[in-house]
Amino acid sequence: MWRSFWRSIDRFSLQYFKYVINELRKIKVVDGHNRELVIDLLQSIVELVTYGDRQDPSIFEYFMEYQVLSEFVRVLRISRNSRIEAPLLQYLSIMIQNMNSDLSIYYCFSNDYINNIIGHKFEFGGDLALYYVSFLRAVGNKLNKDTLCLLLKVHGDAVVSFPLYDEALKFAHHGDKMIQTAICALTLSIYNVSDNMVYQYITTPPVSKYFSDMVSSLSKKFCHLDALVHDAEMRTRQKKEEILLETDKIVDDLYYLKDILGIGESRLSRAVTENLLRILIVPILLPLLQMGQSNGSNLSAVTSFYTISCLLQVIGGKGMFNSVAEVILYPHMASSVRDAVQGDSTESNGHAKSILSEMGIVSSSHETEGAENNSLLTDTVSIKRSGILAHIFSENRSLLLASLFLLFILAETKDLHPLPAQMTGLSGMQYMIDVDGSIGNLLWKHMDVILNALLKVLASQPPYSILIQWHAGWFLRKLLICQGKGLSDHNFQLFNTSYQQSRECLQKELDGCWFDHIPEAFRNEWANCKAALLEASQCKDPFFVLELDVNQQTTDGDAASYFAWQRMVDNVKVFILHLQLKSTISKGELLEEPWLDSSAIADSSNMHASNGVSASFGSEVALGSGIPCRISFSNAGIRDIYLIPVAKKTSGKVILAEKHPFCSQRGIVLAIAPLAGLIPKIDEDQPTWLHLQIRESEPKLHKSKVRGQRLGKSDRVADGRWTLGFPNAKACEAARLSILEETRKQRSSVESVLAPLLQNSCLGNLSESEDE
């Protein structure tokens, strides 16, 4: 209301600015009666200060000279349940964010006004926490090495208080994801502009407790994830969704820790790495590798492997890789190897080594040879089945793949000490000799047994899930490439068995309701499957480790076309996997393209509507081969129609057409369905009725963009059904046979397209390749 009185005055003038400030200073208490007035005044001040900073220096000089920022502090103190805090913080955030000059920012951070607002005793309820954290974030965005000191409280040469940082940490584990993200961004802004005094303050107790709390929170999230994975009562789809959400939260936290390490400040790096080792990594690895008590870690083996794999993939670094490698490989190292690795005191490894020594993982001094000889871990039989090898040789295929994946991550990194790298490395492993005449390369020493375990997964009957088979194939290909020699006779027979099984499963799909889409599935999936096989360990999402341990989703009946489509695509993928593995064994390389006979594929560009195969709704077709019948439509009653089944090469349709009103030899298409999957069946009670099962003409089972998910049950398209009535039983049987004959011709064309892939001689005889 009061603004209208001053319309004649330029509201972006110094005179108006003075007036607004005087009005604000008249306020002695802020309550529900004058709250809107105070908000209006604060908004005007912020608008004018922002304008003055860019356009009118006199306004900003007045703002500084008369300590206008102190009025914001005073308004907070005289507020009486007025809910003025949220708009005040919002306007302050806007003002700070829009300040451009260094002088403006320097003034705002001076005189402790910002610290007083930060330290005000707010009663956080409703959305106030969001406004407060946004205000902290706005202040953090303007920090640099020159302005940082203005927000510190220093005694002598030491920082004794840092309100911006201290208050921000109180919201680090807030339930609101937006607040958590803002706090992470703010702390990173502070770490990037800090000096030695601030780093000392941040990494010294009690302030440094933030890092241990962060890792402890991460540990609890892994425990919650483990509980989800093994929740037997939760439905599979719901479980996968919950697991995905939880893993996303975990990965976000890991990338935050990686960003802290990426700053490159040794004290920060030590604080993060020490806590990761003490609270998370070592308590997981010790019981996992049967090297000690659980120390409070109750994670299952599969989740434990997922945890360590995630940490290495996301955070990485020489210290982390070498610490994990040393714990994993410790039971398999000769004494000289342990001494050499422990003697590496480079900056990246030094603090990690001290942690492992303090926790009793490695010895800080040389052990006597006699003591080592008495250790069970040096016994050959114990070593073979101890530590990570116990999981690799496990009958649990999920553990086999999860433990191998961790070893592969270590094997492919360039950050390992040379000796652990020699024990795990994949490159040139056949040329690696035993270290100190002892264990040598773990994978190479047990290669035949590991290959055998993977091939048993592929050759298993009943077969494992597509997920397990595919990942087993991924490991198998990598080992085949790295070992540099062929399979043993026993393993070779296992692969042949697995190959034949995959081919037989694909051939069964030729009798399924989606056989017409098999060539298309080969073309669509070939590049994806090849890319998946070539994926590096560092790029492979460890989420598959958890998926392997989650029960496979049950179906509501294999007859439904939705599940039949999934099964067909899965069998195509498995066969592609075996073709690529076969090529790797025989030629040492992957196939570039699928060997399909394109001459048998129908060319839609050469088809016309009159041919029937390319007919569409409303188009004209010839009725010459049509079979008269009747059908009842829900919205159009009973209609006299013609049934026209037609196939040309790999395309096939069944058409329902109504006689053309002006041409008795022509018909108008009323409905179309794919020929494949019709399964014509004569009704047992009414021999003149023919039932046809109708699947959707094109699969609309789009892959979810979320990893690991498939189309939900609610998105599935239900199968349709047609019932046709014929004049007599003989005509009904003739219609059934006609449909079967056209389906046979279409299937025969599809078989011709796939023939080069299904023939044994496609890539040459494997045994001959091996002999060569």
How confident is residue 236, by pLDDT bands cut at 50, 70 and 90? confident
CA-closest candidate to residue 574, choices 699, 689, 688, 458: 458
CA distance 111 to 94: 20
Phi/psi-derived region of residue 588, left when phi > 0, alpha when psi is between -120 and 50, beta in every other case: left
**In which element (H, E) is residue 190 found?**
helix 177-193
Residue 534 has pLDDT above 70, yes or no: yes
Q: Which of 223-227, 301-305, 360-364, 765-769 has the lowest mean pLDDT?
A: 765-769
Q: What tens digit of pLDDT does each residue of 707-757 get?
A: 544 434 444 556 788 999 999 999 999 999 999 999 999 999 999 999 988
CA distance 317 to 446: 28
% of the chain beyond a pLDDT of 90: 54
How confident is residue 371, by pLDDT bands cut at 50, 70 and 90? very low
**In which element (H, E) is residue 271 found?**
helix 266-275
Read off the pLDDT of each residue in 59-73 and give the average, rounded to a whole number.
Answer: 92
Number of Cα atoms under 13 Å in the Cβ half of residue 657: 32
How much is the pLDDT for 174? 92
Cα distances from 245 to residues 201, 250, 308, 399, in angstroms, run 35, 9, 19, 23
Read off the pLDDT of each residue in 18-30 and give the average, rounded to a whole number.
Answer: 94
Are the C-beta atoms of residues 529 and 574 closer than 8 Å to each other? no
- Summary mean pLDDT of the chain: 83
Are the C-beta atoms of residues 27 and 71 closer than 8 Å to each other? no
User: Could you tell me the pTM of the whole model?
Assistant: 0.83
Are the C-beta atoms of residues 740 and 557 closer than 8 Å to each other? no
How confident is residue 350, by pLDDT bands cut at 50, 70 and 90? low
% of the chain beyond a pLDDT of 70: 81
Residue 30 has phi, psi (to 5 degrees) of: -110, 120
Residue 584 has pLDDT above 50, yes or no: yes
Residue 698 has pLDDT above 60, yes or no: yes
List 647's β-bridge partners, or say none.
652
How much is the pLDDT for 87? 96
Residue 370 has pLDDT above 50, yes or no: no
How much is the pLDDT for 494? 93
How much is the pLDDT for 472? 93
Read off the pLDDT of each residue in 271-281 and give the average, rounded to a whole number.
Answer: 93
Residue 312 has pLDDT above 90, yes or no: yes
How much is the pLDDT for 234? 78
Q: Which of 5-19, 191-205, 401-415, 496-510 has the lowest mean pLDDT?
A: 5-19
How much is the pLDDT for 363? 52
How confident is residue 555, by pLDDT bands cut at 50, 70 and 90? very low
Q: Which of 250-264, 283-297, 430-444, 571-585 has the lowest mean pLDDT?
A: 430-444
Determine if the peptide bond prior to 205 is cis (ω within 30°): no
Number of Cα atoms under 13 Å in the Cβ half of residue 407: 26
Pairwise pLDDT comparison (771 vs 535), residue with the higher score: 535
Q: What tens digit of pLDDT does each residue of 373-427 get?
A: 434 333 444 444 567 888 888 888 889 999 999 999 998 888 888 877 887 766 5
689: helix, strand or coil: strand
How much is the pLDDT for 417? 80
Q: What tens digit of pLDDT does each residue of 487-521 get?
A: 888 999 999 999 999 999 999 999 999 999 999 99
- Burial (Cβ within 10 Å: 0-12, 13-18, ≥19) of residue 439: buried
Read off the pLDDT of each residue in 532-560 and give the average, rounded to a whole number.
Answer: 74
How much is the pLDDT for 1? 45
CA distance 61 to 55: 12
**In which element (H, E) is residue 56 found?**
none
How much is the pLDDT for 332? 72
Residue 266 has pLDDT above 90, yes or no: yes
Residue 255 has phi, psi (to 5 degrees) of: -65, -30
How much is the pLDDT for 360? 57
How much is the pLDDT for 365? 45
How confident is residue 601, by pLDDT bands cut at 50, 70 and 90? low
